[in-house]
Amino acid sequence: MSDHPASLQNERILPARLALRSDMLNLALIAVLLVLPFLLGGSWVFSLGLCFANAIGVLSVSVLVRYGGEVSIGHTFFAAVGAYSVAVLDTRYGLSVLFSLPLALALGVVSGIAFAWPSRKLSGIYLAVSTMALALAVPELINNMDGLTGGYEGLYVATPAVPGIPMGLQRYYVALLVLAAAVYGVSRLRNSRQGLVLLLSKTHPAAADAFGTRQVWARVAVMGISGGIAALCGAMLGFAGSTVSPSGFTFWSAIFLLVGSVVSFYGLTLWRALLGGAFLTLVPQLLSSSGAWIPVFYGVALLAMILAGHYLPRLRAIAAKRKGDE
């Protein structure tokens, strides 16, 4: 898939046959992920739970890029909103993630809209820098609100979602369930009239205005949706990782969410979101024994992924053309 902004033609409603094949692929992938905890060890189950949470964050950035045509390097702000919603309700009131997750989603949407409205006239590098301000402010905000957030020490998320089931399995399956729900919601948006209106507003603002959809409202709506998904990411990072602290929502965390979105080629499907989440979670774990070479190997892996995403579609097209000529 191209890494350039997609045109409305490329974002059109999927043909029924292609949509069916995509659904079958998603179901097969989910079936495999459902049995993995019974085949892998505890540390891998824990890492995969974090991978699912990061995949939700990658999806949130990709939604903003696809539907808004903008780049954010401050989505950790919305993730922190979701994470601390879950952690505070767990620590203070003993509420499980099943009760706090809707609140986290709502606060993420409201935060996205609250940020998008005053910055609705900004775009490109100006909007990106504005989101960077969010990322820089998050750790200090958390530390200065230590009476609520626990400051540097953070908060511990320990209340089970379903009593009687081992927490290790719950942290894995709840994160997977939320990831699947987020991907399904995005797919419904992609095939809905509202989704097409948002894409039309991005690619042909004048035409969207003619149909009564102002670009400003479309941009605010996209940021609200993206912020809500990012809050789900934060909520799952807190639940799957069991702790919430400022070190999980730094400026570099925001940069890596954008990196994950690039590695997934801004894809909105399950396997592409997982690809981005795995790159953020599992690649550093696999390189952990490389010592001082970790940044070098990570950079090489990132470059290889970007080049593969750029050239593989072209090589596939060339191969298909040669096959057709024969």
Instruction: Look at residue 8 in the predicted model and tell me its pLDDT.
Output: 47
What is the sign of the dihedral through the CA atoms of 230, 232, 235 and 236? negative
CA distance 2 to 35: 33
Instruction: Look at residue 6 in the predicted model and tell me its pLDDT.
Output: 46
Q: Which comes out higher in pLDDT, residue 203 or 83? A: 83
Backbone phi, psi, residue 243, to 5°: -135, 155
The stretch 239-267 carries a mean pLDDT of: 89
The pLDDT confidence band at residue 205, using thresholds 50, 70 and 90, is confident
The stretch 18-35 carries a mean pLDDT of: 83
pLDDT tens digit sequence for 306-324: 888 778 877 777 777 777 6
Total residues belonging to the chain? 326
CA distance 261 to 117: 24
- What Å distances lie between residue 211 and 133, 192, 204, 206, 254, CA to CA? 35, 16, 11, 9, 36
The pLDDT confidence band at residue 89, using thresholds 50, 70 and 90, is very high
Q: Find the Cα–Cα–Cα–Cα dihedral 17, 23, 27, 33, rounded to 10°.
A: 120
The pLDDT confidence band at residue 3, using thresholds 50, 70 and 90, is very low
Q: ∠ at Cα 36 (100, 255), nearest 5°? A: 55
What is the sign of the dihedral through the CA atoms of 267, 13, 75 and 169? negative
Q: Is the pTM of this model over 0.85?
A: yes
What is the sign of the dihedral through the CA atoms of 30, 35, 40 and 42? positive
Question: Do residues 205 and 192 lie in contact, with contact meaning Cβ atoms separated by under 8 Å?
Answer: no
Asked if the model's pLDDT at residue 9 lies above 60, the reply is no
CA distance 89 to 96: 8
The stretch 250-278 carries a mean pLDDT of: 90
The pLDDT confidence band at residue 87, using thresholds 50, 70 and 90, is very high
Domains of the chain: 16-288 (1.10.3470)
Backbone phi, psi, residue 155, to 5°: -130, 155
Give whichever of 102-116, 182-196, 260-274, 278-292 has the largest mean pLDDT.
Answer: 102-116
Asked if the model's pLDDT at residue 1 lies above 70, the reply is no
Backbone phi, psi, residue 156, to 5°: -110, 130
The pLDDT confidence band at residue 14, using thresholds 50, 70 and 90, is low
Q: Which of 161, 185, 187 is nearest to 173 (CA)?
A: 161
Q: Residue type for 108, please?
A: G
What is the CB-side half-sphere exposure of residue 127 using CA atoms within 13 A?
Answer: 21
Q: Residue type for 274, please?
A: L
CA distance 183 to 177: 10
pLDDT tens digit sequence for 48-68: 999 999 999 999 999 999 988
The stretch 5-21 carries a mean pLDDT of: 56
Q: Which of 106-110, 170-174, 196-200 has the lowest mean pLDDT?
A: 196-200
The stretch 275-301 carries a mean pLDDT of: 88
Count of beta carbons in the 10 Å neighbourhood of residue 326: 5
